[in-house]
Amino acid sequence: MDPQDNDKEPDRKARGRPRGWHDVTDQNTIKSLDRAMEVFEFLSENSGCTLTAIANELGQSPATVYRILVTLSARDLVEFDAAEQLWHIGPRAFVVGSRFLRRTSLVERARPILRQLMETTGETANLGIEREGSVLFVSQVETHASIRAFFPPGTMSPMHASGIGKALLANMPNERASRHLQSVSRQSFTEKTIIDPSRMAEELSVILLRGYSVDDEERNTGMRCVAAPVFDIHREAAAGISVSGPTSRITSDKIEELGRCVAAAARELTLAIGGEPLG
């Protein structure tokens, strides 16, 4: 290797971060900025607070908190209600957050989570969204096992016979879910496909309670799927994550454990896209 290459590498990295960028000791932190962010984050969660309440809650002096608030207010990150003498999160905070959401790609954020879910469970991991009354699979990480489920991106599946579909239906408002089920033809694919409205209503109630759904050979005989919803900033189910595989591996006694794994992955993706988990 040319010695000159060794000299170039640190310079290239320094464009985005200096040496020791991962060092979070006092020498690499700006304490005043850290205190300001603490105030800002507190107001984002507890909008409508007095100066005294903020200072007491954060253990900072009122004078320090006031200077921080005035500084943030100058950039519209917080705002003051003079009539009520209360501080609130400001409109600029929404603008900044919106820029993050525009940058965020659901599929991009999901890839490492799907990969880890596949490695943890040993089964194919899927990401799907609702489109035109069906589940549209948008990403997948396949298992290394020889027998596997395969839903390549672009595949569509009826919601009532899909693990992701049922997870999304369970988290829709009741009226919307009912309208959806009434507006589509609930085709029976196997003897286990749920097409009776009352049975489906019971199924959705169970899913909502436990936090994950199960496609128990309802779309394809010999295949099972366990899924959980991903929520957006409005706490609406925007997507679903699932693992799927043959019943010979996804046995009945493994469903609960897989449900916990899938629900944890769905929660991780919810947070990664700036969403709000339900629990």
Give tens-digit pLDDT for 193-244.
998 888 999 999 999 999 999 999 999 999 999 999 999 988 999 999 999 9
The two domains 3-100 and 105-272 share their CATH topology (first three levels equal): no
Looking at the predicted structure, is the pLDDT value of residue 100 above 80?
no
Looking at the predicted structure, is the pLDDT value of residue 4 above 60?
no
Whose CA is closest to 215, among 192, 183, 196?
A: 192
**Mean of pLDDT over the chain:** 87
Residue-level pLDDT at 10:
45
58-62, 102-106, 138-142: which has the minimum mean pLDDT?
A: 102-106
Looking at the predicted structure, is the pLDDT value of residue 23 above 60?
no
Residue-level pLDDT at 154:
81
CA distances from 200 to 78, 165, 227 (A): 46, 12, 16
Question: Pick the residue with more confidence: 184 or 152?
Answer: 152
Residue-level pLDDT at 22:
52
Fold of 3-100: Arc Repressor Mutant, subunit A (1.10.10)
83-104 mean pLDDT: 81
Domain ranges of the chain: 3-100, 105-272
35-39, 53-57, 129-133: which has the minimum mean pLDDT?
A: 129-133
Looking at the predicted structure, is the pLDDT value of residue 8 above 50?
no
35-39, 40-44, 179-183, 275-279: which has the minimum mean pLDDT?
A: 179-183
Range among 88-97, 125-134, 181-190, 221-230 rated most confident: 221-230
Looking at the predicted structure, is the pLDDT value of residue 165 above 80?
yes
- Of all residues in the chain, the percent with pLDDT exceeding 70 is 86
Looking at the predicted structure, is the pLDDT value of residue 164 above 90?
yes
As to burial, measured by CB atoms within 10 angstroms (0-12 exposed, 13-18 middle, 19+ buried), residue 28 is exposed
How many Å apart are CA 71 and CA 59, to the nearest integer?
Answer: 19
Pick the CATH number of 105-272 from 3.30.930.10, 3.30.70.20, 3.30.450.40, 3.40.50.11540: 3.30.450.40
How many Å apart are CA 238 and CA 42, to the nearest integer?
Answer: 27
Please name the residue ranges forming H helices in the chain. Answer: 3-14, 31-45, 51-58, 62-74, 91-103, 106-121, 163-170, 174-183, 197-210, 255-272
Residue-level pLDDT at 146:
79
